[in-house]
A and B are shown apart, each in its own frame.
Chain A
């Protein structure tokens, strides 16, 4: 369990955007793993199994919660499929702000991810961390391919803007040499 708990928790936390809920989901994942212990004990793909279960339980959690509260809380739906790809409304940062510690940078990126709205965070995380294709994301989230692309683009723009506001730019946090 110790070997995989960070991976399971991280997967859930990035998808649901809430640490407390992510811990609940991680607990559920390991309880399911215990039920399948005989099968997983000698399996070389135990890590992949745990990651898939973690992703599926996180998405199930999100959809269950969303269904429960949609009629109460969503006064309007902001998921028009006719959305055009918007222009980037700010300058993509390419200057250098040296001196930001790696740990701080990673923390800021995680914070930025959590601050994204769910409709942007989900496809972004599924694309970049779960390595799903646009088509798979559209199928998994039940939305159109065009909307997946638009949401991912908006998520990238919002994340870059959030990081730029915190002084984290291309050459410091974004891995440039």
Chain B
């Protein structure tokens, strides 16, 4: 019986020899065609549908400016919604074309303020429980199906 370390060395040499002479595998014939098709597809894709890094510089700046404007608008609206009705913040007038939007937001915010906070917390908890339950069922189903295979 050979000692353990000798057998380990022997095994290492044996596998090293086997793998050292192993030639490259042949790539599938479809690989080159797939790459060329993908390149053609990319070339045909409109610039604005590619990633942000592929956009022209001016378009990137314009997008960033628009995003900042959108964020500022969102902050203004949020501030407006959280300010009690009747204060000076609500006194500005929106153009008549979108006055309905102001009316709707005021109505929704009024209703939202009348809902007891307990209801809101209970609703959030209920949704969280539903989410966890759905996730657990999904995980159990996956494990069951996987175990069956």
Contact = CB atoms under 8 A, between A and B. Distances in A.
B32 A109 contact: no
The secondary-structure label for the interface of chain B is helix
B28 A19 contact: yes
Contacts of B23: 106
Interface stretch (B78-86, B100-108, B121-129, B138-146): B138-146
B30 interface: yes
Interface string B14-38: 1111111111111110111011001
B74 interface: no
Interface string A128-141: 11000000000000
Interface string A154-177: 001101100100000010011110
A49 interface: no
Interface of B: 4, 7-8, 10-12, 14-28, 30-32, 34-35, 38-39, 42, 139, 142-143, 146
Interface of A: 1-2, 5-10, 13, 19, 23, 26-27, 30-31, 34, 71-73, 75, 85, 87-88, 92-94, 106, 109-110, 124, 128-129, 153, 156-157, 159-160, 163, 170, 173-176
